[in-house]
Structure 1
Amino acid sequence: MKKLAFLITSAFAITSCANNSSSQNDLVKSQEETMKIHDEIMPQVSVFDKSAVTIDSILTNLNAIKASKPTLDTALTRQELTLLKKDLEDATDHMMDWMKEYSTDSTTVDYAHRELTRVKEMKAVFDRVSKEQQQILSKY
């Protein structure tokens, strides 16, 4: 009877260690993927900041641009550029907020999964805004 109790206890201990190891691997994998995506997005922040300055310059010089491009719809251009600048700034602000809130000390798998989901969503926004930026600013 003592041997059976020992075997059952040992089996639970081994299963528990295996589960902890699996959870730990999942945690590390999620954290690494989160940082990898962050590292892909981060360089775009400076590009977005420069683009916002470029937009300000275009908006300031819109009359001169209109003189060289008489068919330019300045009202539509102003609206399009203003919206793009807002999107660029919102994406950048979202990244900065996420970085302030992100806890590298967390050891819970659920937290790691949530943050991975958040950073993937942020990457999708950055990709969309980057594409918009390239399409719109290539006209100028």
Structure 2
Amino acid sequence: MKKLMLSAIALTTVVAISSCQQKAKDVENNPQELSAKAIEVHDEIMPQISTFDKHTVVIDSLLTNLAVLKTDNPTLDTVATRTELSTLKDNLEQATDKMMVWMHEYTTDSTDTEYQKAEIKRISDLKTEFEKVTSDANRILAPFTKK
């Protein structure tokens, strides 16, 4: 009896594990599931664009007022600051533009599994870029934010 009970538990475990593995495999080959995953990543990073826009406005203001900033902080290297802020602004705008292009080009209802996998990679790479630009913006703009 005990042997029968252990066999039943083992069989149930094997079936459960196989089912989970099959479900994961189904997701990997289901275009609708893959599309949902791509949209999930998009939805996670899309709200950052409004922050990028705000950062761009702050950067424009800082660039316009570098002389005032130099007066307030005589040790400020305005050439290096201008370069760093301009590069950051370009990176923010490029990340935003890439998102707009991705949204314009992405076909949510494509049934091509390979296309959907490629788009997940593309939007995931964009997420990595967004994370880097966000980190750079926080670091570069920190000295200029009032506390």
Q: Deviations over 1:53-85 (max 9, x none)?
A: 110000001100111111000000000000000
SS of the residue aligned with 2:109? coil
Identity of aligned residues (%): 45
* Cα distance change of structure 1 residues 23 and 46 upon mapping to structure 2, 3 Å threshold: closer
- TM-score for the superposition, normalised by structure 2: 0.78
- TM-score for the superposition, normalised by structure 1: 0.81
- Residue pair 1:23, 1:109 contacting (<8 A) in 2 also: no
Instruction: Please point out which of 99, 109, 114 is paired with 1:105.
Output: 109
How many aligned positions are there? Answer: 121
Structure 2 CA distance, aligned partners of 1:139 and 1:24? Answer: 45
- Residue pair 2:63, 2:82 contacting (<8 A) in 1 also: yes
Root mean square deviation of aligned Cα: 1.8
Instruction: Please point out which of 84, 105, 118 is paired with 1:114.
Output: 118
Q: Gaps spanning 5+ residues in structure 1: where?
A: 1-17
Deviation of 1:45 (Å): 0.6
- Residue pair 1:41, 1:123 contacting (<8 A) in 2 also: yes
Does residue 47 of structure 2 align to residue 38 of structure 1?
A: no
Structure 1 CA distance, aligned partners of 2:45 and 2:33? Answer: 19
* Structure 1 residue runs of 4 or more that deviate by more than 2 Å after TM superposition: 21-26
